[in-house]
Amino acid sequence: MSYLVEFPARQVQALGDHVTRRVDGLLHYGGLTPSLTELLDVRVHRYSSREAVVELGGPRLTYRELWGTAARVAGGLLNRGIGFGDRVAISYPNSAQWVQAFLGALLSGAVPVPVNYGFSSADKRHVLADSEVDFVLDDELPDGTAFIDDGACLTELAVLCYTRGRTGLPKGVELSNENVLSAIESVIAAEGLTGDGLRNLVMLPLSSANGCIDQLLPTLAVGGTLVIAPDRDPDRLRSAVRNERIDAVSATPVEYGQALAGDAFGVAGEVRRICCAGGSLAPDQVRGLRTAFPAAKQWSLWGATETSGVGLTMSDDDASAHPGSVGIAFGGMELALFGPRAADGVGELLCRGPNVMRGYWRNPAATAEKFTGNWFHTGEIAQIDGDGYVRIVESGSVEQARAESVERV
């Protein structure tokens, strides 16, 4: 009886020399910069005069201005004794200030800890206590002499993201520089992002992996402009789409539904790309977005915080050919199914790749529970068809699937 059945990556040949399998059995991107800081530093110098961040109703910052203010935040943190390996909590709503704080913590050599603004007060207190933060950025940003610590390497911790999961208290997800950089490369390749001046209206929470790692950082990596919506005011969004030359929009199905209900987009033929994260769009939402953005291609990303927010992708064409699917693995991600029916194409969805977390922060027991070898257990019961497309099965549970198995391979 089969318990773990692998579905080998089907995109490796297409990626060519970009990914190779190493002795650990995983696919890895070649040619990555040693750290996230170094990647961004190179891009800042390449695109210094472009707009990097626009907060609707707030500040507008070029790459030079954003990097300069972030470096001064890093200097201010240094003056307060913050340095390499320290944890710095980022606790602001979506804003230019959030981006400055995140990058400032990164440039100081510390590890940013985004505090999800949607968490309850109790969960926020738990995040601060569990991560043992050394400093909290939640008010006026510290200021000092510009400072950049760019000595990190691929294996070191880059970001500590907390995920609520299905039950229990939020757990800290350790994402290394390689995890984050691999996710950036995957998103850029999957969505075909180029350095032609992308202007991305982001409605996702920046404190989430979807918002920060899958939208903010890839946008900056290609010299694009992150247009931040601090709220969901329909008039503000409609004005932004019209006046900010928006060519990409990123949101969750809930946020798209609210925006469509308030006619927040109007009809915007200039928008070329719609990205949905955190779930699948309902058919009426798909139709509504096609009406609002008639020239736009629709993409969806499916993943967990533990996978840097990415894992599966679905394009317009794929959605038509594979209705009901949430996508296919992309980048260096590979899939497997776990359970007694895995050989029949049904079981718990497992994944592995260069974007999968190192583990849970100071929680080896929880980490061990989620891994079989280097395969991460997503907790979703799924089907994988012959072309590699994944459908999440609504009925059944992980507990049932595991109970039927006598051991892990």
**How far, in Å, CA of 81 to CA of 292, rounded?**
50
**How far, in Å, CA of 69 to CA of 59, rounded?**
12
Residue (of 240, 241, 199, 207) closest to 95 by Cα position? 207
* Kind of pairing between the strands at 135-137 and 87-90: parallel
Using DSSP's 3-state secondary structure scheme, residue 138 falls into coil
Predicted confidence band of residue 406 (pLDDT cuts 50, 70, 90)? very low
pLDDT at 408: 34
**How far, in Å, CA of 301 to CA of 330, rounded?**
10
Contact 295, 270 (CB under 8 A): yes
299-350 pLDDT, tens digit per residue, is 899 999 999 999 999 988 888 888 889 999 998 999 999 999 998 889 999 9
Q: CA torsion sign, 402 to 407 to 408 to 409?
A: negative
Q: Which of 233-237, 309-313, 400-404 bottoms out in mean pLDDT, i.e. has the lowest? A: 400-404
> Hey, what amino acid is at 113?
V
pLDDT at 177: 98
What are the C-alpha distances in Å from 283 to residues 262, 290, 320?
A: 18, 11, 12
Q: Is the pLDDT of residue 122 over 50?
A: yes
Question: CA-based diameter of the chain, in Å?
Answer: 63
CA dihedral 344, 349, 355, 358 (to 10 degrees): -120
Tell me the average pLDDT across 95-105.
98
Q: For the chain, give every domain's residue range.
A: 1-31+315-409
Domain 1-31+315-409 has CATH 2.30.38.10: yes
Give exposure, 163-195, as e/b (b: 16+ Cβ within 10 Å): beeeeeebbbbbbbbbbbbbbbbbbbbbbebee
Structure tokens at 146: 């510009």
**If you average pLDDT over every residue of the chain, what do you get?**
91
Place of tokens 């260069």: 354
Tell me the average pLDDT across 264-270.
89
Structure tokens at 197: 């001046």
pLDDT at 14: 47
Predicted confidence band of residue 402 (pLDDT cuts 50, 70, 90)? very low
- Number of Cβ within a 10 Å radius of residue 230: 16
Q: Is the pLDDT of residue 407 over 70?
A: no
Using DSSP's 3-state secondary structure scheme, residue 27 falls into strand
Contact 334, 353 (CB under 8 A): yes
Question: Percentage of the chain surpassing pLDDT 90?
Answer: 79
* Kind of pairing between the strands at 297-302 and 273-277: parallel
Predicted confidence band of residue 390 (pLDDT cuts 50, 70, 90)? very high
Predicted confidence band of residue 400 (pLDDT cuts 50, 70, 90)? very low
**How far, in Å, CA of 245 to CA of 247, rounded?**
6
pLDDT at 13: 41
41-87 pLDDT, tens digit per residue, is 999 999 999 999 999 999 999 999 999 999 999 999 999 999 999 99
Predicted confidence band of residue 10 (pLDDT cuts 50, 70, 90)? low
**Degrees, nearest 5: CA angle 137-140-144:** 90
CA dihedral 357, 361, 362, 368 (to 10 degrees): -40
pLDDT at 151: 81
Q: How would you write 291-333 as a 3-class SS string?
A: HHCCCCEEEEEECCHHHCCCCEEEEHHHHHHCCCCCEEECCCC
Helix-helix angle 283-292:253-261, to 10 degrees: 60
The whole model's pTM is what? 0.94
In terms of C-beta density within 10 A (0-12 exposed, 13-18 middle, 19 or more buried), how is residue 363 classed? middle
pLDDT at 7: 86
Q: Is the pLDDT of residue 136 over 50?
A: yes
